[in-house]
Amino acid sequence: MIKVVAKAKLKPEVNPEDYIMLARELVAETRKEKGCISYALHEDINDPTIFTMLEEWENEQALEQHNQTAHMVRIIPELKKLRESGELNIYREIK
């Protein structure tokens, strides 16, 4: 199983609802994908300008396919425009 933690800090002038609207569309489309175990947007409790997408994928191939989908190619650049910074971490479980 592969886990992804994608964190975003919004620009100060960005309305968080604009980010949430785009991210919700991404979540809805991604959850339909083969190999997606879970995919959810989370808001930081102490800072409403920090959002984290927590993802679980069956394997690396599923994640690679996800990164090439039409909704990713369309929505991710729009989300990036709203971010001040971002961090992406991909994990493989150790057994």
Token representation of residue 65: 């396919």
**DSSP letter string over the chain?**
-EEEEEEEEE-TTS-HHHHHHHHHHHHHHHTTSTTEEEEEEEE-SS-TTEEEEEEEESSHHHHHHHHTSHHHHHHHHHHHHHEEEEEEEEEE---
Average pLDDT, rounded, for the chain? 97
**Tokens of residue 81, six digits:** 């425009």
pLDDT of residue 88 exceeding 90, the answer is: yes
Give every strand in the sheet of 36-43, ordered side by side. 36-43, 50-57, 2-10, 83-92
The pLDDT, as a whole number, for residue 45 is 98
Q: Which CATH number goes with the domain that contains 70?
A: 3.30.70.100
Average pLDDT over residues 11-39: 97
Number of domains in the chain: 1
Give mean pLDDT, residues 21-31: 98
> Which structural domain range is residue 88 located in?
2-92
| pLDDT (0 to 100) of residue 95 | 86
